[in-house]
Amino acid sequence: MFKSRTEAPDKQLLQLTLRYQKEHPDMYLGKPELGRISLEGKKIFNQEAVHLFILEDQTRKIVLDSQKSDDEKAKLAADHFSTKNNSDKAAAVLEINGILNLMRSVSTEGHALNSSQLRKLEQAVSLSEDDQQTFVLETKHMAITPLVQASWIFDDAVKLLQK
């Protein structure tokens, strides 16, 4: 299911996104929508995307728990990292910030999900300029959505730990 950890997470995320766009396209009027992943595909994709950036099972379970609200997840994450770091809140915050930095790094210049690099992909080169723009925006959106959602939880967990 998952590739080795030797390849950069942003490249793994791009490959994962492209695979799900192809294998689980969102359909509109019987045709696949350019760059979008179906709702069914997104459920599995989100799990795999989060797995690339959050290595610890317990932390992934907290983030991916569909039965809990984001506020509940943030409290669970704060408690988990606090316990894991022997109630050292500063160490817990540092560990969370390490995960956040890795997740946010996928959007920076030079990474695989950078717009200029996405335009160079085989899937984009043959498209019209408008379709190329749509492909780039949708690909980036599909890829980073689960990371953005996880980062909200971790941001709130940090706030709880800093109280």
pLDDT in tens, 28-73: 999 989 899 999 999 999 999 999 999 899 999 999 999 999 999 9
Upper half-sphere CA count for residue 39 (Cβ side, 13 Å) = 1
In this prediction, residue 1 carries a pLDDT of 44
DSSP-based three-state secondary structure for 28:
strand
Please check the confidence at residue 153 and state whether its pLDDT lies above 50.
yes
Residue 153 within a domain: yes
Phi, psi of 38 (to 5 degrees): -65, 160
Please check the confidence at residue 2 and state whether its pLDDT lies above 50.
no
Range of weakest confidence among 64-68, 107-111, 150-154 = 107-111
In this prediction, residue 104 carries a pLDDT of 86
| Mean per-residue pLDDT over the chain, rounded | 91
In this prediction, residue 5 carries a pLDDT of 58
Provide the phi-psi class of 56: left if phi over 0, else alpha when psi is between -120 and 50, else beta.
Answer: beta
Upper half-sphere CA count for residue 161 (Cβ side, 13 Å) = 29
Residue 68 within a domain: yes
Record the pTM.
Answer: 0.85
How many domains, in total, are found in the chain? 1
How far CA 130 is from CA of 54, 122, 135, in Å, comes to 35, 16, 9
Residue 3 within a domain: no
Identify the domain containing residue 74 by its residue range. 9-161
Residue 115 within a domain: yes
In this prediction, residue 10 carries a pLDDT of 86
For 105-139, give one letter per residue: b (16+ CB within 10 A) or e. bbbeeebbbbeebbeebeebeebeeeebebbbebb
Residue 4 within a domain: no
